[in-house]
């Protein structure tokens, strides 16, 4: 049997829940019906007996046992009483707990002091006891399975004293047949009702499930279409970037030849102008490279890393040296706090250099003139199995809500600052992708705007 669908699981659980609830509900209702029927029968029987006795018998006839002809006459009156149906036996007790009359003449005149129900009845309460056919009894010895032993106090006059107690044994088999019929009807009604409820609920959920499936199908189709368009956009960016790079490369080459005076002498003004053009050409190539890296990011090509032994401290110092002229021009002090005993790790040196260029480049952009940039390397982790690099500056800083947003493609915290500093908002997303492809993490911390920033990345020691 395969895995059940969500709809099938709902249907099964709903059915089980309804069955359990219906069983509990039916048991409670049928139990209440049985108790109510017994109570109503007891009260009705007691009322009929009390009324009939008061109409047909005198108080004096219930005070002492009769004998001889008087007993026969009294027995005749008792047997002609209009008692409820199914009364099997009768006993009449006086206030002294003596049997005044019984259909079993052997009991007449005997006193039974130890009878709790009789004691309660003499206090004016209607008492009863229900008994069923025991395993030790035989059906032919007792014609009925259920028997109600009922004690009815007899009082003459309003608020009168209890003069006698009628004890009757009533066969309840006919009553229980009626109760059984009513209970069967209740169970049938519950079964049909809860079945209809289940069908209605299942139908509603089925219709909802169909609508959700249809919506999911549309969402999947829309997602696929968006992916297709996204791939087209990425391919377009890649093609455009390549086409842009093609003419820029020879332009740089000729600019270099001109500045090296390979094509003739230059005046100072011409050399300065060509230097500005070359610098802007480098900037343009850097942005084109960033766009190309977006294509690599989209296609997950950063997961295809070279695995070679690298020394992280060397990469850090090498990157700082490449940018040192720019740090000096802004009078920014670069401080090192390196663990010289860092182990050699396995990774892609070219890509990790790209990460360091991005982090140090950002520190250079957003640190004011005369500021400080600190680079730290150390071994960390509970098992000392992680290399951690930290770049800290005292520049613009970041608001708490932007600490994650800066790693989104093309996101720029402050467009005015970014425009001054330059950049497309692609460096940090690409850097994070490279670090994560190495099995590490890259994140930012800041105490707030104007309080500088710290960028950390970790790499596993393998």
Decide: 225 and 68 in contact? Cβ < 8 Å. Answer: no
Mean pLDDT of 107-116: 88
| Cα 314 from chain centre | 50
Lowest mean pLDDT among 5-9, 55-59, 110-114, 222-226: 5-9
Predicted confidence at residue 290, as pLDDT, reads 67
Q: How far apart are CA 379 and CA 57, in angstroms?
A: 110
CA 372 to CA 132: how far, in whole Å? 99
pLDDT reading at 17 higher than 90 = no
In the chain, what are the helix, strand and coil shares in percent, each to the nearest 5?
55, 20, 25
Confidence at residue 2, expressed as pLDDT on a 0 to 100 scale: 55
Asked whether residue 222 carries a pLDDT value surpassing 80, the answer given is yes
Are the C-beta atoms of residues 152 and 72 closer than 8 Å to each other?
A: no
Spatial distance between the Cα atoms of 122 and 446, rounded to a whole number of angstroms: 91
For residue 236, name the pLDDT band (cuts at 50, 70, 90).
confident
Residue 331's Cβ-side half-sphere holds a number of Cα atoms within 13 Å equal to 3
Band of pLDDT at residue 440, cut at 50, 70 and 90: very high
* Residue, of 106 and 419, whose pLDDT is higher: 106
Could you tell me the pTM of the whole model? 0.45
Element (H, E) at 372: strand 372-380
- List, in order of start, the domains of the chain with CATH numbers: 6-182 (3.30.450.20), 300-460 (3.30.565.10)
Contact 126, 153 (CB under 8 A): yes
Grouping H, G, I as helix, E, B as strand and the rest as coil, residue 80 is coil
Token pair for residue 393? 């500056």
- Tokens representing 43 are 């009260």
pLDDT digits (tens, 9 = 90+) for 243-300: 777 787 788 788 888 888 888 888 888 888 888 888 888 777 777 776 666 666 655 5
pLDDT tens track for 144-160: 778 889 999 988 877 77
Mean pLDDT score, 113-127: 89
Give the Cβ contact number of residue 87 at 10 Å: 19
Question: From the CA atom positions of the chain, what is the Rg in Å?
Answer: 51
Give the dihedral sign, CA 58/60/64/68. Answer: negative
Nearest-10 crossing angle of helices 173-259, 6-56: 160
> Could you give the CA distance from residue 270 to residue 263 in angstroms, rounded to a whole number?
13
Tens digits of residue pLDDT in 332-356: 999 999 888 889 899 989 889 989 9
Sequence-ordered strand ranges (E) for 103-191? 127-132, 146-155, 162-171
425-446: average pLDDT: 88
Band of residue 316 on the pLDDT scale cut at 50, 70, 90: very high
What is the full DSSP assignment across 21-61?
Answer: HHHHHHHHHHHHHHHHHHHHHHHHHHHHHHHHHHHH--GGG
């Amino acid at each position: 049997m395969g895995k059940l669908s969500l709809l099938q699981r709902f249907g099964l659980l709903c059915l089980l829940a309804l069955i359990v609830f219906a069983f509990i509900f039916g048991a409670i209702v049928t139990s209440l019906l049985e108790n109510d029927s017994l109570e109503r029968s007891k009260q009705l029987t007691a009322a009929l007996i009390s009324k009939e006795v008061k109409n047909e018998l005198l108080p004096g006839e219930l005070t002492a046992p009769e004998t001889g002809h008087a007993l026969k006459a009294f027995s005749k009156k008792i047997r002609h009483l209009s008692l409820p149906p199914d009364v099997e036996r009768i006993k009449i007790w006086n206030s002294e707990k003596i049997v005044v009359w019984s259909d079993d003449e052997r009991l007449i005149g005997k006193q039974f002091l130890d009878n709790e129900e009789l004691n309660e009845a003499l206090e004016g309460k209607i008492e009863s006891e229900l008994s069923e056919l025991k395993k030790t009894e035989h059906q032919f010895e007792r014609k009925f399975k259920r028997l109600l032993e009922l004690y009815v106090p007899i009082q003459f006059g309003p608020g009168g004293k209890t003069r006698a107690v009628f004890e009757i044994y009533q066969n309840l088999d006919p009553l229980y047949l009626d109760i059984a019929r009513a209970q069967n009807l209740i169970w049938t009604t519950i079964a049909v009702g809860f079945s209809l409820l289940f069908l209605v609920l299942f139908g509603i959920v089925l219709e909802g499930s169909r609508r959700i499936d249809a919506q999911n199908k549309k969402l999947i189709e829309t997602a696929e279409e968006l992916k297709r368009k996204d791939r087209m956009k990425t391919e377009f960016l890649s093609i455009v970037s390549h086409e842009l790079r093609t003419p820029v490369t020879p332009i740089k080459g000729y600019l270099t030849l001109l500045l090296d005076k390979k094509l003739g002498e230059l005046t100072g003004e011409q050399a300065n102008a060509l230097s500005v053009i070359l610098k802007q050409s480098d900037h343009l190539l850097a942005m084109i490279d960033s766009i190309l890296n977006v294509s690599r990011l989209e296609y997950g090509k950063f997961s295809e890393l070279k695995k070679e032994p690298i020394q992280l401290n060397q990469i850090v110092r090498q990157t700082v040296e490449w940018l040192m002229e720019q740090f000096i021009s802004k009078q920014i002090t670069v401080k090192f706090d390196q663990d010289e005993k860092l182990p050699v790790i396995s990774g892609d040196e070219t890509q990790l250099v790209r990460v360091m260029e991005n982090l140090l480049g950002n520190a250079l952009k957003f640190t004011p003139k005369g500021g400080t940039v600190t680079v730290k390397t150390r071994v960390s982790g509970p098992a000392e199995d992680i290399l951690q690099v930290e770049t800290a500056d005292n520049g613009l800083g970041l608001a708490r809500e932007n600490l994650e947003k800066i790693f989104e493609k093309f996101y720029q915290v402050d467009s005015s600052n970014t425009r001054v500093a330059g950049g497309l908002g692609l460096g940090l997303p690409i850097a994070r992708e490279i670090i994560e492809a190495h099995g590490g993490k890259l994140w930012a911390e800041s105490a707030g705007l104007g309080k500088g920033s710290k960028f950390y990345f970790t790499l596993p020691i393998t």
